Every structure is written in C-alpha cells, then in structure tokens.
Amino acid sequence: MIQADIDTSMKRSRRRVAAQRLILLSVLAWSGVCAADILNPSFEATYYLTGYGDVPLNWKRVDNPAFNSCCTNLWTTDGARSISLLSRLTNSVKTFSFNAGDYQALYQVVDLTGVDSIQFDARLAAYPSGLFEHFEASLLIDGESVWSRTADGVYLDERVNVSHLAGWCRVELRNTAMGVGSFDAAYWAQWDNLRLVEGPTTIPAVVDLRPETLDLACKGRWVTCYITLPEEYDVHFIDGATVTLNGIGAHMGHEDWAQAEASDGNITDHDRDGNIERMVKFDRAAVQAIVTPPEAKLVVMGNLLGDAEFQGDAVIRVCDGGNGREGGKRDRPGGHDKKDRDHKEDPQDRGGDRGGKANGRDHDHNDHQSKDGKGKGGKNR
Ligand SMILES: [Ca+2]
Ligand SMILES: [Ca+2]
C-alpha cells in the first residue's frame, strides 16, 4: 500500500513537471515572436479611419480632438509613409484652441529586454507654411520623456539609450502644446523608421558556489552552483546546457537537476530568501584542477533562451587536504579518513539528486540520503 502511494505520487510529480515544461516552452515560443520587436515601426501598414485618414496598425492612440494623426508620404526616411501627429489649424471654418500640456500620442508596448537603444528619424514642420513652434515632439518610455525637440527641422538617426530597461515598456510618441493658443498653421511632429538596436548586454548574475571551501584532497563529485538573476529576469529561462564555469560545462545528464530546461529538480530557493535560483552542477575534479589555495575567483556564464547572456563570479576558498585549513578547523595530523572529509564538505556537493529539489525543500536535511551523486532516496534516475 505504501509503495503504491509512493509510485502514484511520483507519477503525479512527473506529470506535473512535464506540464510545467510544456507551459514554459509555450511561453518561450510566444516571447520569441514578441521580444525585441516594434510592430509596424516604419508606419507602412495602415487602415483608413474616418476623420483621421490612414492610421498605423499596431499603434494605440491617446486622443485629443484638437490634434490629428495619420500616415502620409509628405516625408519619409524608410518606405512610402511616416506617421504625423499634428495640431489642427484654425481657419474660417473651425477654431481649435490649446492649453499648455495638451497632447496627442501613439504608443505600443515593447519588450526592451536586451535592447541597447531605440533609433528613429523625426521631422518637425509647419503646414501650410512657417516653422514648427508652440509645440514639442517627444518620445517617452513608460511615461518618462527620453527625447524631445521643439525646433523646426529634420532629425536623423536619433538614439535613446534603453540599455538599463528590461521587460515590457510603453514606447510613446507625442506632440504636446507648450502654451495657450489658437494657430493658423498646423504643427506636425513626424516619425519614421523606428528600430531597436540590440546591445552586447550581459545580465549580471549572482553566483553562489557550494561547497564554499574546496579541499583538494576530497573526492566529492560535484561543485554546485546557484544562479540568481535581477528581478526583471526569470531564472526559468536559463538554458542549462550553455552554463559554464571558467569554461567547464555544466553537467548535463539524465538526472532531474541536470536538464537544459527548468524543472523541479533545478529551480530552488536554496538560501530561502524568497528569490528562486537556477541550480547547475560542475564536475568537481575538473574545477579542482584549475584552482589553487588559498582561493580562486570563478566566472559562471551562460545564456537565457532567446540568447541574452548572463555572467557572474564567486570566490571559492581552496585548501589542500592535510596541509591546509578547511572550514576554520585544522586538519588532523596525518590526514583523515573519507568519512571525516565528507562531513566537512558542504552537503550540496554530494547530494546531487537531492540538492536541487524545489518548493523550499531543505536540501541539507536530505543530504544524508545520497552521496557522490548516487541517490539513495529514490529520486536519482
Ligand atoms: Ca516609413
Ligand atoms: Ca534564494
């Protein structure tokens, strides 16, 4: 009866993990289409809207009846059209009055993860004659102005730095009245050829290595690595197959924790601070071959699915068996047996199968059940 319950529980757990992987892959497939793209960035795709004319697909409008916005061929730097946000002119037929701060805007929400800058061309002009004045053309990100001009003219290859931003942000084009007035010219703010420039952005990662001290005389199987990303990034997106430690590839095997994609076996809150980490393991002998006492700085890097890179480093203490110190204790003269050494290692170094179980399980409590990566608790396959 007990064995049957265990078998049922394990089957449920595996089905749950499989379902989670499917959901994750679905999310990734969707994000792969949407990430780092401005839709209709050159305003070539339009539809006719009564009262406005040809308006751009994919752009939402913050309307104001004293303004118009439409796609025209009056000026372009890419393709046949650009977008214009323009104040309506006052004539014998109708009067349009403006107060300072009145504006019209077009916007869309764009994933700026991994984007270094937004580039675009703009032109400020007056129709039917005169120079652009009384208004301000601006580009805003999440409501904050990051570019603005008030002087008549053409502005090519303008660039705003967005490398500090990540995730979905509202990119907005505005034409704003600078004062009170009613004008017999229309003031046009025109944009064309918006493009996202991807930068060599490396996401800074926090790396926690276990054991904290490497005793070169010990025969543990693994160095365990916990990777935390800034809150705007999701460690579920880390591709474990790309993770390296000073060039040493993460162990990719059949174990739950050694998969390229996220799973219950490699997503955990190891330090119980409420932030989850991605766990990978490196062959301990390979790591010990590149370090020397008293300490070594090790660099962990890899990719998120979608190609964004992350990198972080950690300093690990190194001692040399009977000749050194480990964990602040002097090793016994004449060395020590394997049992003593294992007790001084970080538990995460040995319990390869148990160490990465998610959902807040206490890895240390489980560690005594497995050793040298060979699980004794029924979880290692
Ligand atoms: Ca265009
Ligand atoms: Ca944590």
At residue 85 the predicted structure's pLDDT band, cuts being 50, 70 and 90, is very high
pLDDT at 374 over 70: no
Summarize the chain as % helix, strand, coil (round to 5): 15, 40, 45
> Domain residues for 191?
46-198
- Same domain, residue pair 187 and 264: no
Kindly state the tokens that stand for 351: 């319990």
Among 19, 38, 176, 205, residue whose Cα is nearest residue 109: 38
Decide: 241 and 296 in contact? Cβ < 8 Å: no
142 and 208 belong to one structural domain: no
What is the Å distance from ligand 1's center to 261 Cα? 40
Do 194 and 214 belong to one domain? no
- 17 contacts 264 by C-beta, under 8 angstroms: yes
109 CA distance to ligand 1 centroid (A)? 19
pLDDT at position 201 = 64
**Pair (255, 363) in one structural domain:** yes
User: Domain end: 173, 198, 223, which one?
Assistant: 198
Query: Quick one: pLDDT at residue 323?
Result: 58
CA of 154 to the centre of ligand 1 (A): 15
Is residue 264 domain-resident? yes
Which bound ligand lies closest to the C-alpha atom of 274? 2
> Which string of DSSP letters, residue by residue, matches 273-338?
SS--EEEEEEEHHHHHTT--SSEEEEEEEEEETTS-EEEEEEEEEEE-GGGSEETTEEPPTT---H
pLDDT category of residue 227 using cuts at 50, 70 and 90:
very high
Confidence band for 166, pLDDT divided at 50, 70 and 90: confident
- What spacing in Å lies between the alpha carbon of 25 and ligand 1's midpoint? 34
Mean of per-residue pLDDT scores for the chain: 80
Number of domains making up the chain: 3
Q: Note whether residue 167 is domain-resident.
A: yes
Domain's final residue, options 170, 198, 226: 198
pLDDT of residue 232: 77
**Span from the CA of 224 to the centroid of ligand 2 (angstroms):** 14
Q: Kindly state the average pLDDT of the residues 68-89.
A: 97
Q: 96 CA to middle of ligand 1, Å? A: 29
Q: Confirm whether 375 is domain-assigned.
A: no
Domain presence at residue 38:
no
211 and 360 assigned to the same domain: yes
Same structural domain, 62 and 22: no
Q: Nearest ligand, CA of residue 42?
A: 1
Which of 167, 198, 229 is the endpoint of a domain? 198
Looking at per-residue pLDDT, the higher value among 87 and 14 belongs to 87
197 Cα: distance to centroid of ligand 1 (angstroms):
17
- Examine the domain organization and report whether 73 and 188 are in the same domain: yes
Q: Tell me the C-alpha distance between 168 and 11, whole Å.
A: 37
Are 342 and 331 within 8 A, CB to CB? Answer: no
pLDDT value at residue 372 = 33
Ligand 1 mean position, distance from CA 69 (Å): 15
Same domain as 171, residue 234: no
Q: What's the average model confidence in pLDDT over 326-350?
A: 38
Residues 279 and 234 in one domain: yes
**Ligand having the closest approach to the CA of 279:** 2
Of 142, 148, 189, which is closest to residue 169 (Cα–Cα)? 142
Looking at residues 135-149, what average pLDDT do you find?
A: 97
pLDDT of res. 291? 96
187/255 same-domain check: no
